[in-house]
Structure 1
């Protein structure tokens, strides 16, 4: 069993919930959903506990992580030059209502 540490591979903010998910063998997405729901329901201690864990938990020093490649990661917001450009839609006549 690996030691409890922040995750580098499964991090959204600090990697705390990703590290907890890896340690307890639970899907980190499930932990994130539980924390968000608990925060909105009114369990007010979730944010301070998360921030405390972010400060206290050690960084992952696991050597089994994937080595960083020279290729830049794809941005979720587009702008990737490797992808082919989308074909522009053809402009039809203004009075053409044939799609309806």
Structure 2
């Protein structure tokens, strides 16, 4: 079974999307947050915000055992 992406429980500012992506990709979530901000400004805010909300809705929370 492969590696799965989850929302981060420990490294989150709003919903844990960037933290979860950082954990999944093995990079600093701050870089992902910076990319989200840049994309948001390049798309007149709405593109980045909509992408973040969609990712927040699609990516599952880490299962609690």
Same fold? TM cut 0.5 = yes
| Cα distance in 1, alignment partners of residues 60 and 40 from structure 2 | 24
| Cα distance in 1, alignment partners of residues 48 and 56 from structure 2 | 12
Number of residue equivalences: 63
The answer for the alignment partner of 1:50 in structure 2 is: 52
| Cα distance in 1, alignment partners of residues 64 and 51 from structure 2 | 24
Higher relative contact order (CA 8 A, sep 6+): 2
The answer for the alignment partner of 1:29 in structure 2 is: 30
C-alpha change, 1:22 and 1:4, in structure 2 (3 Å) is same
The CA RMSD measured in Å over matched residues stands at 1.8
Q: CA deviation at 1:42?
A: 2.5
Unpaired segments ≥5 residues, structure 2: none
Q: CA deviation at 1:62?
A: 6.2
- 1:26 is paired with a residue whose SS is coil
With the length of structure 1 as denominator, give the TM-score of the two structures: 0.56
With the length of structure 2 as denominator, give the TM-score of the two structures: 0.82
C-alpha change, 1:48 and 1:16, in structure 2 (3 Å) is same
Q: Which has the larger radius of gyration?
A: 1
Q: Which deviations, in whole Å up to 9, do the C-alpha atoms of 1:51-92 show, x marking residues without a partner?
A: 0111111101266xxxxxxxxxxxxxxxxxxxxxxxxxxxxx
Q: CA deviation at 1:2?
A: 3.8
